[in-house]
Amino acid sequence: MTIKSTIFRPYDIRGIYPQEFNEDVAYRVSRSFCQKYWSAKKIIVAQDTRLSSPIIANAIIRGLVDADKQVIDIGIAPDPLFYFMIFNHKLDGGIMISASHNPKEYNGLMLSVKKPGAKMVLDIINDDLFKLRDLVLSDRKWPASRGKIGKVIKIQPEKEYLDYVARKIKLARPLKIVIDSSNGACGFLPEKIFKKLGCDVKTINGEFDGTFPNHLPDPYLEENLSDIKKAMRQYKADCGFCFDTDGDRVALIDERDRSASGDFCMLMLAREVLKKKKGPIIHDMRISKAVLDELAKQKVPTFFSICHHNAVIEEIIKRKAVFGGEITLHFLFPLDYYLCDDAVFAALKLAEVVSQQSSLAKYIDGLPYYPLSPEIFVDAPDDKKYQMIADFVKYLRKNNYDFVDVDGARINLKHGWALMRASNTGPMIKCRFEADTKEHLLEIEKEMLDLFKKTGLPITKKLYRDLGLC
């Protein structure tokens, strides 16, 4: 069997089903996982709503049972339930079947494990995932099962999660809320929690449907928010929340049908956390300087992180941070909850902020802001994009640019900054620009696109047009 090595990315496994990623690959991953992490005995398995997910889940579970593991199967369930079970029940690891916000043709795996001697379960990423890849790609015969040691236990953890999480949230007033679950694994789970807290809730696209008939399950992209904005107008809600397929991202919508940027959400949540305890805050490379400037005024230490929740978690632990997140709508709350990517809990924490305001829209309008470009995507093959970034960083260093290279390169300029980094989830390089004025933003965009092009990035005329530069 030939397996495409590029489906193994730095943070997960993803490919088009069944050409690149299928049940045969899934079985080999499952057996390799068990061989590499032999001491992990109790493994949870969850899946998103994609049509291929039950097929992949069966292969994963078969591999675990053949390796004599105890499998906790929670069926279709989002990351919040997956991680809650791992941490609350002290499980040894887990396999989540999902391609997150990728289109319906894709599927994939996110693997987590507690290594021997480790204090907590973490996702298998980077070198550890590539070592697992090498094991999967090897022409290996697996040892036979020792008998009836491996078994499957089916559990529905929803009620336990609802009770646990609801106790941690205090709303200043009941809210009228619209939820868009994007036909993903969150389903009606967020509605149940908010109703438990006394809110009036309307859910759209709550039915499980792996064809994603209404919109792509990526709330970070504005074009996927039209359904919830329409529902907001219809129900005259205080706020809305749109979730992705596996429930690790959530977008906030105000009562004027506007999406709150990830930067705004980061600042809203940081302000709330800092009321409890002052301490460091971790953020990704795309964070707005407006957020950093406000935190600097409060003498709050801030630290850049690689753009992935596992990297943010590691920085939170290292720095003893009180909050962390990414502007792509991932948020972590070390003071209040387990260190895991739980968009339902993040929505509840955002709701706490909303409940303290007479108007979410007015609150957002009062937040600091600098002109910012949309994130632009440059096509770059998976097997070449990291070398492109390395070559660019080498050029910057040789020419004495002021930049941060934690993840890609964020170039500090007189009137703003520019970022270039490889996508973790697709064959592309992502770029973003910010400036202190609109005029300076246009100058930075043109200057940096010209520089990117000069150093070998395939910048097209369309990208210039998309930014209004020609």
Q: State residue 48 phi and psi, 5-degree precision.
A: -90, -165
> Worst-scoring range by mean pLDDT, 55-64, 279-288, 381-390?
381-390
Q: Report the pLDDT value the prediction gives residue 147, as an integer from 0 to 100.
A: 67
Q: Mean per-residue pLDDT for 368-382?
A: 92
Do 22 and 50 contact (CB within 8 A), yes or no? no
Catalytic-role residue among 100, 112, 288, 373: 100
For residue 152, list its beta bridge partners: 71
Q: With pLDDT > 70 as the criterion, what percentage of the chain qualifies?
A: 99
Q: What is the tens place of the pLDDT at every residue in 77-99? A: 999 999 999 999 999 999 999 99
pLDDT band at 308 (very low <50, low <70, confident <90, very high): confident
Give the pLDDT of residue 292: 97
Is the pTM value of this prediction over 0.85?
yes
Tens of pLDDT, residues 96-126: 999 998 999 999 999 999 987 777 888 999 9
Residue 453: pLDDT above 70?
yes
Helices (H) and strands (E) in the chain, counts: 15, 21
Q: Residues 191, 179: contact at Cβ < 8 Å?
A: yes
d(CA 118, CA 260): 37
Yes or no: say if 164 and 157 are a contact pair by the CB < 8 Å rule.
no
Tokens linked to 222:
């504005």
Sketch out the chain's domains with CATH numbers: 5-157 (3.40.120.10), 172-258 (3.40.120.10), 260-365 (3.40.120.10), 376-466 (3.30.310.50)
The tokens for 469 are 């530069």
Q: What is the mean pLDDT of the chain?
A: 95
Q: Which comes out higher in pLDDT, residue 293 or 148?
A: 293
Count of CA atoms in the C-beta half-sphere (13 A) of 432 = 21
Residue type, 335: L
- Phi and psi, residue 28, nearest 5°: -65, -40
Phi/psi of residue 144, each to 5°? Answer: -70, 155
Q: How confident is the model at residue 2 (pLDDT cuts 50, 70, 90)?
A: confident
Distance (Å, whole) CA 33 – CA 103: 26
- Taking the C-alpha atoms of residue 93 and residue 284, their distance in angstroms, rounded to an integer, is 26
Q: What angle do CA 470, 436, 401 make, to 5 degrees?
A: 80
CA distance 450 to 56: 44
Phi, psi for residue 333 in degrees, rounded to 5:
-130, 80
Over range 233-248, report the average pLDDT.
Answer: 97
Tens-digit pLDDT profile for residues 187-235: 999 999 999 999 999 999 999 999 999 999 999 999 999 999 999 999 9
Of 141-150, 327-336, 406-415, where does mean pLDDT reach its minimum?
A: 141-150
Confidence label for 290 from pLDDT (cuts 50, 70 and 90): very high
Q: How far apart are CA 227 and CA 211, in angstroms?
A: 16
**Residue carrying structure tokens 């609350």:** 88
pLDDT band at residue 361 under the 50/70/90 scheme: very high
Which residues of 265-335 form beta strands (DSSP E)?
281-284, 302-305, 323-326, 330-332
Q: What is the pLDDT of residue 249?
A: 96
Mean pLDDT is lowest, of 4-13, 36-45, 72-81, 316-325, for 4-13
Residues in the chain: 470
8-state DSSP, 8:
B
Listed residue (98, 80, 88, 10) closest to 42, CA to CA? 88
Q: What CA–CA distance (Å, rounded) separates 125 from 386?
A: 16
Q: What is the pLDDT of residues 163-195, one digit of tens each?
A: 999 999 999 999 999 999 999 999 999 999 999
Q: What is the pLDDT of residues 395-449, one digit of tens each?
A: 999 999 999 999 999 999 999 999 999 987 778 999 999 999 999 999 999 999 9
Q: What is the pLDDT of residue 468?
A: 86
Going by pLDDT thresholds of 50, 70 and 90, the confidence category of residue 371 is very high
Q: Are strands 239-243 and 176-180 parallel, antiparallel or unpaired?
A: parallel
Question: Can you tell me the distance from the alpha carbon of 399 to that of 411, in angstroms, rounded to the nearest whole number?
Answer: 12
Is 100 a catalytic site residue?
Answer: yes
